[in-house]
Amino acid sequence: MLYRIVVGLIFLLCVSSVFAEDSVPNPTAVANASMQEAVPGDQWTYEIRDEIAGTLKLTRTDMVTDVSKNEIAVRFEISDTGNSGNILYDRSWNIVGDGPFKYRPNDGTGFQLPLKLGAQWKFSIDVINSKNGQTFRRVGDSRVTGQENITTKAGTFKTFVIETNYTGKSAQDITLINQTSTRTWFSSDVNHWVRRTIVWRQRGHIVQSSLIELTDYGHKKQ
């Protein structure tokens, strides 16, 4: 369940000890107009680390199984566990459905194109757990705060840095309030994030802190 929450927030949702960051000296740059389109067979492998315990939590691979005009279907597999599942995204990498969780209109953790420094947007959504009927109202915002070069086990990437913050309030229990802060390094070259940090608070207390980092990826030529 926790890895689904990590992904839903994010997904995936972890840091390698060999990364490095450098500022990209072009503050007016916009996301590459020729950004790679997602196609069935595209895949990304991530290490997800528990930042509180300082341990590797899991390794997962996401693979695109279908692409339509408005949505991207992805199957994920957790290494060495046999666990797998399916996540439905819109074309901006917002989650629409993840297991029992349905997002109306989406989960708000994706991106608005074209990406450029200073761009910002707000969202207000409903999160519905179809298994138990619990509903959360989520309100938040995202902002492109910088550009950085990121080196991971998968290579070196030019990225846009997007900071997202949102609050979710339970419709059934007004005292149950979740607050989430994410920082995402998104690469136009691979049409995905190469690093993402997620801090999740419940009733004001940190209950989960994860770091997700790309270790391998592949684009299927059509």
The runs of H, that is alpha helices, within the chain are 2-8
Asked if residue 17 has pLDDT above 60, the reply is: no
Instruction: Give the whole-angstrom CA distance, residue 173 versus residue 90.
Output: 30
Range in 58-62, 87-91, 199-203, 217-221 the model is least confident about: 217-221
The string of pLDDT tens digits covering residues 127-183 is 999 988 889 999 999 999 999 999 999 999 999 999 999 999 988 888 888 999 999
| Domain spans of the chain, in order of start | 2-218
Instruction: Give the whole-angstrom CA distance, residue 25 versus residue 118.
Output: 15
What is the average pLDDT value for the chain, to the nearest integer? 85
pTM higher than 0.85: no
Q: Which of the four CATH numbers 1.10.1660, 2.40.360, 2.60.40, 3.40.50 does domain 2-218 have?
A: 2.40.360
Asked if residue 11 has pLDDT above 60, the reply is: no
Residues 6+ apart with CB under 8 A from 145: 117, 161, 162, 163
What's the pLDDT at 221? 73
The string of pLDDT tens digits covering residues 20-63 is 333 333 434 444 445 778 999 999 999 999 999 999 999 999 99
What's the pLDDT at 202? 87
Asked if residue 18 has pLDDT above 90, the reply is: no
User: Which residues of 99-175 form beta strands (DSSP E)?
Assistant: 101-104, 120-129, 135-152, 155-170
What's the pLDDT at 222? 63
Rounded mean pLDDT, 63-76:
97
Range in 53-57, 146-150, 191-195, 216-220 the model is least confident about: 216-220
What's the pLDDT at 106? 95
Instruction: Give the whole-angstrom CA distance, residue 141 versus residue 132.
Output: 27
The string of pLDDT tens digits covering residues 78-137 is 999 999 999 999 999 999 999 999 999 999 999 988 899 999 999 999 999 998 888 999
What's the pLDDT at 25? 36
